[in-house]
Amino acid sequence: MDSNSNNKKFWKSISEYNNEPEILKNKRNEFSEGVTDDFEPSELSGMSRRKFIALMGAATAITATACSDYRDKGEIIPYNKRPEEILPGTANYYASTCTGCESLCGILVKTREGRPIKIDGNPDHPVNKGKICAKGQAEVTNLYDPTRIKEPLFNKRKVSWEQADNQLISEFKKATEDGVEIALISEHILSPTFNKLLAEFKSKYPTTKQYYYSATDNGNKLNAAFQSYGNYSIPTPRYDKAELVVALDDDFLGVDGNSIENTKNYSMKRDAINKVNFNRLYVIEGRMSLTGMMSDYRMRLRPEAQLEFVWTLINELKSNGSISFPAELASKVSNYTITKLVSTYKINEKKLRGLLSDLSKSKGKSIITAGKNLSESVHVSVNYLNELLNNTGNFDYNNFDLGASYASYKDFENLVSKMESGKVGVVLNLDINPLFNLPADLGFGKGYSKVKTTVAFTLENNETSEKSKYLLPINHFLESWGDYRNKTYVMSLQQPVINPLFNTRQKESIFLTWVSGEAKSYNVNSYHKYLLENFDTAIYNNSSKKTDNKSFWYGSLHDGIVELNTTTNSKGVFNTGSFGSLSNPAVKSNFSVYLTEGYFLGGGKFANNGWLQETPHPVTKITWDNYVSVSPSTAKQFGIEKDDLLEISVNNKKLKIAAVIQPGLADEVLHIEFGNGRKVVGDVGLETGVNAFELISKKNTESNFVLSGAEFSKTGETYKLASTQEHHSLDDTFVKDFHKVRKIIQEGTVNEYKKHPHFLHDEKHEVFSITDEHKYTEVKWAMAIDLNKCTSCGGCVTACNVENNIPVVGKDQVLLGREMQWMRIDRYYSGTPDEPETSNQPMLCQHCDNAPCENVCPVNATNHSPDGLNQMAYNRCVGTRYCSNNCPYKVRRFNFFNFRDHFADSYYENNLTPLGNNPEVTVRSRGVMEKCTFCIQKIMDARQVAIKEERPLNGNDVVTACQQACPAEAIVFGDSNDPESKISKYRKHNLAYHVLETLNVKPNVTYIAKLRNTHSEEV
């Protein structure tokens, strides 16, 4: 560089260039007057320039060091602008409606950062009152199911919605022009707005014909209601009103009807804590059901004999003058006597006579119900018997009139013949699976393939959608708008809590597009708008209008429900002719197959839900499979053992299925639950059980689910069933009645208790400690479980799974005894194998004060909190499993594998499933022990709120997941140091006991002993 460039003269303005004097003067005095006058560097800062540089350097170095350990965990996008309503780390709850089944429970959906993670019941809902079943809880997994269909498909190829809509609309038009049928097959539509929309669809395409079909239908009950009362509305028994309940193969606490409502009502009559107001439950059944396990008296009777049983009751009640019976019908029932029934079906006569005297004594205070699988005749007879006993006041007649029954097999036969002759242009399957559920001899599948346009609305691929030309993926109900009504006095609203995860649409808006006849008319909000309009006209305009329509809508949406003032009693007059026209019961001998709905899989709808597949069956504790149950005497007679593969043949159809020996099952009954055995299903549901629908034939007349004239043979093969509880033979004296001997289960009778309230603690003596015990000065957490109320429905187990991110381990691991559920329901039998008495007991970590697990952990990973919790520090756990060995309750669960990726089909190895995880609960790695925490995240939440509000923590603020889910309110949780709390009252109760009290581990879970409401003091 030459020196010239350094001497270059710079100028800032023309005046400077011209060397104007004013400028020159200013230049000399660079800081003009006033700027530097007060400038005193020493006063500005004590920091020198060097020091500043040094500090800055140090700060940079420290920052750089701190950042160096940052591991990029993938893309994290923070909110630039916080969305309304969402506060990161805080859950939002939205009211909606569960449409998993026809019960339509009101729900509160818990969402975190925009993701629904848990479904609880909506406490404001007048029917389910804040409770929800296992299936409803597990719906979150269905939402995040990676096997959901993500795009509309035409002939199995991706197609745009617009194209599909265009093609379909032209098909509809063509069908209308040609006068061929558009068959619309669905379950009963319980949404008024959707019904209105479908009516519009029908008027636009008048050849549309609607068929109602459900795999788990209660058609017999519905038809009987129509026969008896002239409408399609099944009255709901009010179990909270009746003193005597006689259930004929009616699993009303399990899967018959709205089990949540029933359980809630029933449990009100099982209050041992305050007033001992027990009802008496008789169950007469062929299978062993959840309700049967709860019964005070249980009689075994094959399902075909139920008609005879009812008629015998009528006849005997007539004979002893308890009821006035029309003389013209007397001859109809006069042949049926107790003696005959006892001799034909080997029923315990004493129990039967007891039932009769109870029935005569509690006229007007009893309920007789029959299960949905029994024939129409039984239901008509039961309706009549209730009328005769003046029991109608114990029924709620507010169920919505469905207007029509289900399509019969005859209807389907007609449809199939029309399909085969080309008289059906389009078949629309609305989220149902007839190819899986309908009897094969209807030929539906064959007819279906001949229809030009077949459409399946579905969440995921199934047997029907597989064979359909169009596959329209629909929204999960958590992504949908809707209004639902199955009771006259309440309308439930459904709102989306997450944007559709995939390119799916809700089925209503698809119809809306079709009704408009214009594929382009679709808009994400179109059904929302339609719903609003309908809501305004149908609900708002009829309401008392205290607010404007918008506020009214938002208010209702917030509550999730609209209570309607149309409580008209829809009970009709009983039509005696319906009873008179019944044909006489026929005596059946030989074996019969009895099919009932599985507890957790519905008609196969939930087959791809791991949580439900792995929830142990309430009775047999078997997971992942269905099986045929045979009675112990049948098993003995034919040399059948558990896991033997039997070949069942009935209706010329054969089915190979593994056997289970079920105590208490009626002889000559082969009981199978359906819902398993799906062939076209996601990874989870594959190869889980067999399809029992295959046994049903269109020829079944009385009931689709009772198949007489069955035969079976042993194949000589075996098939391993995965049970979470080892099956101990009842007649094995070696292990008989251990649960009673060891005081795991303590029971009594109502009469015994009334006479001698302290009977449970007669032998009890105080144990003194030789050391000072730890004092719990503040809150001390404790739980009580009322065994009088617990029905073992499994709702708590699923709720716990969802709340605490409990992994699904798969059948192979359940077989090895490595299921991970923190909560289990133990089932014990006593009595004889034929007439067993069942005791159930939810078992979870007992949070013992003297916890044996704590002192054996070498690394202090499990320890005790100051508020009485037995804690697990997952980070510290090295996995010696010593704690689990030393736990007398065996409630600890070890991660034998990394269950998130071990599960055979890598169930969790996708981006979707983990979205359902609860972010408040650590996802445990392999090699770590885990167990019930008493929902510590909820305790901490409540504590935080209490601290913020500057008040002491109140034990009632915490509701554990299992407690929240329990429809019977059998679980109580709270602060046992608070003498006013409910839990203290439970713990001090005369019926309270701890399991294995003799070990002196001082559990904090108290059980309230079960009382059986028998006639005598003896069980």
Instruction: Count CA atoms within 13 Å of residue 87 on its CB side.
Output: 4
Q: Specify the DSSP class assigned to residue 429.
A: E
Stretch that binds other proteins, among 152-160, 643-651, 920-928, 957-965 (CB under 8 A): 920-928
Closest-CA residue to 236 (of 216, 215, 213, 256): 256
Q: Choose which of 149, 744, 790, 961 interacts with other proteins (CB under 8 A).
A: 744
The yes or no reply on residue 817 touching other proteins (CB under 8 A) is: yes
Determine, following the binding rule CB under 8 A, whether residue 889 of this chain makes contact with other proteins: yes
Among residues 893, 931, 989, 1010, the one that binds other proteins under rule CB under 8 A: 893
| Residue 734 in the binding site for other proteins (CB under 8 A) | yes
Residue of 532, 538, 856, 1019 that binds other proteins (CB under 8 A): 856
Asked if residue 881 binds other proteins (CB under 8 A), the reply is yes
For residue 433, give the amino acid letter. Answer: N
CB of 900 to other proteins, least distance (A): 12
Q: What is the DSSP letter of 636?
A: H
- Helix 134-143 to helix 795-803 angle, to the nearest 10 degrees? 30
Does 818 interact with other proteins (rule: CB under 8 A)? yes
781 near 976, Cβ under 8 Å?
A: yes
Residues in CB range of 446: below 8 A, 6 or more apart:
416, 420
Q: Does 46 bind other proteins (CB under 8 A)?
A: no
Binding flag, residue 999, other proteins (CB under 8 A): yes
Instruction: Give the nearest distance from C-beta 904 to other proteins in angstroms.
Output: 12
* Minimal distance, residue 889 CB to other proteins, in Å: 6
User: Shortest distance, CB of residue 521 to other proteins, whole angstroms?
Assistant: 55
Backbone angles phi, psi at 886, to 5 degrees: -85, 0
Piece in contact with other proteins (CB under 8 A), picked from 30-38, 360-368, 388-396, 721-729? 721-729
State the number of binding residues for other proteins (CB under 8 A).
57
Residues of span 827-846 touching other proteins by CB under 8 A: 827-828, 841, 843
What is d(CA 811, CA 425) in angstroms, rounded to the nearest whole number? 43
**Contacting residue, 195, 567, 725, 956, with other proteins by CB under 8 A:** 725
- Scanning 168-176, 357-365, 824-832, 944-952 for contacts with other proteins by CB under 8 A, the matching segment is 824-832
In terms of CB distance, is 564 or 856 closer to other proteins? Answer: 856
Q: Which of residues 569-608 bind other proteins (CB under 8 A)?
A: none
Query: What residues have CB less than 8 Å from 497, skipping those under 6 apart?
Result: 94, 96, 109, 111, 116, 478, 479
Q: Which is nearer to other proteins, 567 or 880 (CB)?
A: 880
> Does position 741 bind other proteins by CB under 8 A?
yes
Q: Please count the other Cβ atoms lying within 10 Å of the Cβ belonging to residue 163.
A: 13
Backbone angles phi, psi at 723, to 5 degrees: -110, 145
Rule CB under 8 A: say whether 550 interacts with other proteins: no
Residue spans of beta strands (DSSP E) within 507-609? 561-563, 591-597
Figure out which of the listed residues 269, 280, 379, 739 binds other proteins, where binding follows CB under 8 A: 739
Take residue 742 and report the two structure tokens written for it. 């060891």
| Count of residues in the chain | 1019
Q: Is the Cβ of residue 487 or residue 827 nearer to other proteins in the bound state?
A: 827
- Residue 894 CB, shortest distance to other proteins, in Å, is 7
Interface with other proteins in residues 794-813 (CB under 8 A): 813
Q: Does 776 bind other proteins (CB under 8 A)?
A: no
* Backbone torsion region of residue 651, taken as left when φ is above 0, otherwise alpha when ψ lies between -120 and 50, otherwise beta: left
Q: Which is nearer to other proteins, 699 or 742 (CB)?
A: 742
Whether the CB-CB separation of 209 and 184 falls below 8 Å is answered with yes
Residue 1011 has a CB neighbour count (10 Å cut-off) of 23
CB 519 within 8 A of CB 135: no
897 is a site residue for other proteins (CB under 8 A) = yes
Select the span of 461-469, 541-549, 713-721, 870-878 touching other proteins (CB under 8 A).
870-878
| Interaction of residue 728 with other proteins, rule CB under 8 A | yes
Query: Least distance in Å: CB of 827 to other proteins?
Result: 7
Residues 549, 567, 886, 922: which binds other proteins (CB under 8 A)? 886
Site for other proteins contains 521 (CB under 8 A): no
Residue 44, number of CB atoms within 10 A of its CB: 8
Among candidate residues 784, 763, 846, the one with its CA nearest the CA of residue 988? 784
Distance of CA 30 to the CA centre of its chain: 82
Closer by beta carbon to other proteins, 178 or else 901: 901
Closest CA to 491 of 539, 449, 421, 525: 539
Q: Give, for 682, the enclosing helix (H) or strand (E).
A: none
CA distance linking residue 566 with residue 571, whole number of Å: 14
Cα separation, 238 vs 825, whole angstroms: 27
Region near other proteins per CB under 8 A, out of 181-189, 540-548, 823-831, 970-978: 823-831
Confirm if 112 and 436 have CB atoms less than 8 A apart.
Answer: no
Q: Which is nearer to other proteins, 490 or 848 (CB)?
A: 848
CB 334 within 8 A of CB 312: no
Nearer to other proteins, 126 or 927 (CB): 927
CB closer to other proteins out of 584 and 860: 860
Which positions from 926 through 955 interact with other proteins, judged by CB under 8 A?
Answer: 926-929
> Which is nearer to other proteins, 487 or 924 (by Cβ)?
924
Least distance (Å) between residue 460 CB and other proteins: 29
- Smallest separation (angstroms) from other proteins to the CB of 813: 7
| Stretch of 69-77, 547-555, 725-733, 974-982 lying at the interface with other proteins (CB under 8 A) | 725-733
What interhelical angle do 192-204 and 507-516 show, nearest 10?
30
Closer by beta carbon to other proteins, 817 or else 914: 817
Q: Does 729 engage in binding with other proteins (CB under 8 A)? A: no
Q: Torsion angle, CA of 242/247/252/255, rounded to 10 degrees?
A: 180
- Quick check: 872 binds other proteins (CB under 8 A)? no
Listed in sequence order, the residues at least 6 apart from 940 whose beta carbon sits closer than 8 Å to its beta carbon are none
Listed ranges 252-260, 387-395, 454-462, 872-880: which one lies at the site for other proteins (CB under 8 A): 872-880
Nearest to 810 by CA among 736, 951, 709, 904: 904
Instruction: Note whether 93 binds other proteins by CB under 8 A.
Output: no
In this structure, the number of other CB atoms found within 10 A of the CB of residue 370 comes to 30
Binder among 41, 78, 716, 858 for other proteins (CB under 8 A): 858
Please identify, among the stretches 121-129, 347-355, 661-669, 855-863, the one whose residues bind other proteins according to the rule CB under 8 A. Answer: 855-863
Contact 795, 132 (CB under 8 A): yes
| Residue carrying structure tokens 């998130």 | 900
Contact partners, residue 503, CB within 8 Å, separation at least 6: 150, 151, 152, 161, 473
Contact between 890 and other proteins (CB under 8 A)?
yes
How near is the Cβ of 635 to other proteins at its closest, in Å?
A: 20
Query: Token pair for residue 376?
Result: 């129409």
Give the whole-angstrom CA distance, residue 221 versus residue 378: 9
Q: Counting Cβ atoms within 10 Å, is residue 67 exposed (0-12), middle (13-18) or buried (19+)?
A: exposed
Only one of the segments 54-62, 214-222, 593-601, 993-1001 lies at the binding site for other proteins (rule: CB under 8 A); that segment is: 993-1001
Q: Does 1010 bind other proteins (CB under 8 A)?
A: no
Let me know: does 594 contact 672? Beta carbons within 8 Å: yes
Q: By CB under 8 A, is residue 857 in contact with other proteins?
A: yes
Q: Out of 742, 754, 774, 951, which residue is the one contacting other proteins (CB under 8 A)?
A: 742
DSSP state of 57: H
Binding residues for other proteins, rule: CB under 8 A, are: 725-726, 728, 734-735, 738-739, 741-742, 744, 813, 816-819, 824, 826-828, 841, 843, 852, 855-860, 876-882, 884-886, 888-890, 893-898, 902, 925-929, 995-996, 999, 1001
